Structure 1
Amino acid sequence: MQFSVGDVVQMKKAHPCGSNQWEILRTGIDFRIKCCGCGHMVMLPRVKFEKNVKKIISQAQPPQE
């Protein structure tokens, strides 16, 4: 799967706030993601992130020229 900043993904497990949708804020060796429910931010290693993603809900819009 290809991930980019601004994508919203669904994780396999829900966050304690009840939401399982996360926005990607940073990609690379580590991923920084933000919960769409409560705004909590988490850093995850790429391997763990890719293992826990269920699907991409919405993709970031490419920049308009």
Structure 2
Amino acid sequence: MPMKLNVGDIVQLKKVHPCGGDKWEIMRTGIDFRIKCLECNRQVWLPRKKLEKRIKKIISQSEQNEQ
């Protein structure tokens, strides 16, 4: 079963980005996810399966997820 991830969620990945950041904001969801590094603002597209494997923890969830 897929993880419950929404636009605006902040996640921490297992691997550190070359800029030194490991926190990412989810910009787009679906089969492919677009995530943005909160350190350098670089955007990356990843398939859902790869992203779910790389997530260490969900730091904050968007407000629409909490309601």
- TM-score under structure 2 length normalisation: 0.89
Question: Structure 2 stretches of 5 or more lacking a match?
Answer: none
Paired with 1:14 and 1:61, the residues of 2 have a C-alpha distance of 26
Q: After TM superposition, give the deviation of residue 58 of structure 1 in Å.
A: 0.6
Q: Give 1:14's aligned residue.
A: 16
Paired with 1:36 and 1:14, the residues of 2 have a C-alpha distance of 12
- TM-score under structure 1 length normalisation: 0.92
Instruction: Give the letter for the 1:5 counterpart.
Output: V
Q: Give 1:24's aligned residue.
A: 26
Of 41, 44, 54, the match for 2:43: 41
Deviations 1:22-56 (A, max 9, x none): 00000000000000000000000011000000110
Q: Secondary structure at the match of 1:31?
A: strand
Q: Which structure 1 residue ranges, 4+ long, deviate > 3 Å from structure 2?
A: none
Question: In angstroms, what is the RMSD of aligned CA positions?
Answer: 0.6
Question: Structure 1 stretches of 5 or more lacking a match?
Answer: none
Number of corresponding residues: 62
